[in-house]
A and B are shown apart, each in its own frame.
Chain A
Amino acid sequence: MNLLNVNLDPALLLLVVPLLVLQVGLLVAAVVDLLRTDRHVRGGSKGLWAMIIVFVNVIGPILYFLIGRVDVPVGDAEPGQAAAPGWGSPHDPPLVVPGTVPAVTPLAAPPATSPALAAKAPSDAPAAIVVEGLTRRYPGVVALDALSLVVPAGSVFGLLGPNGAGKTTCLRLLAGLGWPTSGRALVAGLPVSADDPAVRRSLGFLEQDPRAYGWMTGREQLRFLGRLHGLDGASLDRAVTDALARVGLDAAADRRAGTYSGGMRQRLGIGGALVHRPPVVVLDEPVSALDPEGRRDVLELIAGLRGETTVLFSSHVLADVERICDRVGILDRGRLIVEGPLGDLLDRYALPVWRIEAEPGQGQAVEVVAARLRALEWVTAVGVEHGLLTVAVADPARASRELLQIVGAAELAVVAVARARPTLEDVFLRLTGESREAAA
């Protein structure tokens, strides 16, 4: 039954139908009783009372229904697309990445018999996070499209992508805050589930815009979160003190979180994700609200987790990802377009770039050189900014031979000509650009 584009849960129907029958019965009984000839009604207006009863019983539920369905498209799977079968059930058959090696290294206290732990990352480390065919559709939008991903244990994995690429959707699904339309995931060898909280004992999660209970102090919030993870007594005290120190909130620990700035809330959120020392940490834009100093501190903190904790984090800041990540995945429009060790990606996808810095006051000559370069078949892109020419090339050998001759022929006075090291930004822009061109 699917009315008004609403996906009704059969359990809800079982609950609602008897209530509706009861309600209609009561409505009829009330009106019949009211209209009885011997019935005394205060004020004498039976018609008015009958209208009020009908309004409360008919208009009210309709309003309730209309107000209630506002959240349905976001909160539920797309009509006709049930949540992934078996998603999150602890009884699901475990997911094993094809071609895995049987030798297993348990990550952190999960059942040693779990075959899922046999999942091996491409780097031969055991997999801390395994995602297979994860898809999340909303009406008219595919937020995540059959994402498959393996994050090796102990690594720092950066998830990149433009706005709306599906990074946050992916991370929230891993934290059990939603349901995929299809596909599934394992964290620390346990199936991810919104219904089964067990997997979240092995997970620390930071939201993109971390929230806090404004009436709690920072210390109280970490104690509360620590207790939910089974910490108590002296171990809780130690864990909270340590987490506060790691995120640099010791001085403000006893202030109400409601008085914290955005950056302090972000630090508190990171502290909350780390307080129980989980084997896997998922961080959504962990440095987005921080000042440069805070950014540096948190990036160092994340980098320091390498080896003891697996970190999966998303970011828009490519330099941050480049600075601390072992592996990188680039998402675009819900699809993983590339994934691998950072060095491999740079070698494979970043085309060489030359930067030519001209003497000041030669704008005309710079534009002339740029126009000549754009016409060459081995030049893929030319950028001009404040007298600096950036030339991306498809044939580095040819560029090495001919580029200086072209500049010399144009009689352009230059300060420097250098072959620049390709950056992750070059890879990102190239791949996401190609992805969009292919889609177009």
Chain B
Amino acid sequence: MSGFGILLRKELWEAWRTRRLPMVAVLFVVIGIISPLTARYLNEILAVALGDQLPVALPEPTVATALEQLQKNLGQIGALAAIALAMGSVSGELDRGTAALVLAQPVGRPAFLGAKLLAIAVVLGAATLLASAVAWAYTTILFEPVPAGGWLAMTALSWLALVAWAALTFLASAATGSTTAAAGLGFVALVGLGILAIVPAVDRFLPTGLAAPAIAFAGGAGATVDGGRLATAVAGSVILIAISLAGALTAFRRREL
């Protein structure tokens, strides 16, 4: 793909210079800090806030509670950040006219799109790694030491899910050429697939199906993970990303700039 490396470098440089990368990194670090903290002190916070009015006795928080909290936050706030990163990636360049500036050079459209999606994946990867590292440190301090290997597996699965949400939004951005429409469609996809994931038979093929194995790996219960479910969720996410990229290429290939 002609010019891919130069375009990827430019995308990453742009993410840094426009502060997208630092902002997403900070957001994810906050998620990494807040998740174990909330899990650890939620009972105390509720007790202080509600006193005797607390209707039921809450169970004592564990590492699993912290992991569930982290996955929930990454699956919601992280996914919204992924949508925000991807929504203007193509349409923004079309709006500003810089897509024509680049594509009038010896650059192929597949390289133009591929570099953008890969750069988003790299930014999300760095941010997820930071969030996991911080969460691991806080979980170790607040609860008990946990093996780092499982956390790395969790990080990889969380990252894959986030890239899938970004890829769907990326497809919408390339197909519609509108940042607003891309954001809306990315959100609709997130909510829609989230609702579909209520059905276990469907969940096992979606990025949402990665959360449970991720928690199990990080909690040291990797042996209990259903290999089949994990494989279908990973494959489903990878296929979703591939289809999104292919769809974006198909839609963008015939676009007049």
Binding site for B on A (CB under 8 A): 9, 11-12, 15, 19, 26, 29-30, 33-34, 49, 52-53, 56-57, 60, 63-64, 67-68, 70-71, 74-77, 83, 172, 175-179, 194-198, 200-201, 203, 205, 207, 209-213, 215-216, 224-225, 227-230, 272
Contacts and interface: CB of A to CB of B under 8 A. Distances in A.
B256 interface: yes
Given A64-B185, A177-B257, A207 B107 contact: no
A228 B105 contact: yes
A200 B104 contact: yes
B105 A71 contact: no
A57 B184 CA distance: 14
A180 B217 CA distance: 55
5 contacts: A53-B195, A176-B104, A177-B104, A177-B256, A209-B97
A255 B251 CA distance: 36
Given A60-B185, A224-B10, A227-B6, A197 B106 contact: yes
B123 to A, nearest CB: 15
Contacts of A30: 195-196, 198-199, 202
B145 interface: no
B156 interface: no
Interface in B157-178: 172, 175-178
Nearest to A33: B199
B101 A272 contact: yes
Given A15-B243, A229-B106, A212 B98 contact: yes
B141 interface: no
Given A74-B256, A75-B177, 16 more contacts: A26-B196, A26-B199, A30-B198, A53-B192, A60-B185, A64-B185, A70-B178, A76-B255, A172-B256, A177-B103, A195-B109, A197-B105, A207-B101, A207-B104, A211-B98, A215-B17
**Closest 9 pairs between A and B when the two form their complex, measured CB to CB:** A56-B192, A211-B97, A178-B256, A197-B106, A205-B104, A228-B105, A75-B255, A177-B257, A67-B181
A228 B195 contact: no
- The winner among A63, A200, A213 for most chain B CB atoms within 10 A is A213
A56 B195 contact: yes
Contacts of B181: 64, 67-68
Nearest to B14: A215
Interface centre among B101, B172, B202 (most CB of A within 10 A): B101
A247 to B, nearest CB: 16
Contacts, number: 145
Contacts of A68: 175-176, 181, 251
Nearest to B200: A33
A179 B106 contact: no
Contact of B105 (A26, A74, A200): A200
A29 B104 CA distance: 47
B3 A71 contact: no
Nearest to A211: B97
Given A68-B175, A200-B104, A60 B188 contact: yes
Nearest to B1: A197
B247 interface: yes
A162 B254 CA distance: 28
A185 B98 CA distance: 24
Given A9-B250, A15-B243, A60-B188, A177 B100 contact: yes
Nearest to B10: A224
Contacts of A200: 104-107
A179 B103 CA distance: 13
Contacts of B251: 12, 68
B231 interface: no
Contacts of A212: 98, 101
Interface in B215-257: 243, 246-247, 250-251, 253-257
A62 to B, nearest CB: 11
B105 A229 contact: yes
B192 A57 contact: yes
B176 A67 contact: yes
Contacts of B105: 197, 200, 225, 228-229
B198 A34 contact: yes
A176 B254 CA distance: 11
Nearest to A174: B104
B172 A64 contact: yes
Contacts of B257: 172, 177-178
Contacts of B256: 74-76, 172, 177-179
A71 B255 CA distance: 8
Contacts of B243: 15, 19
